[in-house]
């Protein structure tokens, strides 16, 4: 039952079709400081975002924003994001080649 609720929550939290990759690219300039301009981090402690699943990225950002996922850097960054910002950023990073090309 626990897994059914989790899957249901993931489906409901997934970004809608209205996500704008170009807007996400524009909004990603702050993200690039840690995660790289192409979504590939040059700093080992920061994860690569390129090619991550769009729904995962949106769920993670929302969790940072609402405080259910804790991180001293990401919490304050995500608190500044609207649902639209999150959808756009998730779509943009998901669209990038995980090889960095």
Q: Is residue 100 part of a domain?
A: no
Q: What is the mean pLDDT of the chain?
A: 87
- Map residue 29 onto helix, strand or coil: helix
Closest CA to 95 of 19, 21, 15, 44: 21
**Which residue carries 């850097």 as its tokens?**
73
Q: Which of 11-15, 16-20, 63-67 has the highest mean pLDDT?
A: 63-67
Q: Is residue 47 part of a domain?
A: yes
Question: pTM of whole model > 0.95?
Answer: no
**How is residue 5 annotated by DSSP?**
H
Residues 6+ apart with CB under 8 A from 91: 15, 19, 20, 21, 24, 54
The domain total for the chain is 1
Domain that holds residue 36: 2-95
Q: Is residue 101 part of a domain?
A: no
CATH number of the domain at 43, please: 1.10.760.10
Are 81 and 89 in contact by the 8 Å Cβ rule? The answer is: yes
Q: Tell me, what's the pLDDT at 18?
A: 77
């Amino acid at each position: 039952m626990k897994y059914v609720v989790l899957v249901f929550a993931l489906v409901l939290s997934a970004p809608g079709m209205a996500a704008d990759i170009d807007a996400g690219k524009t909004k990603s300039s702050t993200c690039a400081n840690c995660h790289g301009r192409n979504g590939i981090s040059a700093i080992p402690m920061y994860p690569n975002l390129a090619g991550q699943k769009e729904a995962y990225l949106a769920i993670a950002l929302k969790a940072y924003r609402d405080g259910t996922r804790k991180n001293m850097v990401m919490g304050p960054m995500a608190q500044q994001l609207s649902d639209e910002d999150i959808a756009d950023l998730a779509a943009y990073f998901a669209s990038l080649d995980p090889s960095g090309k």
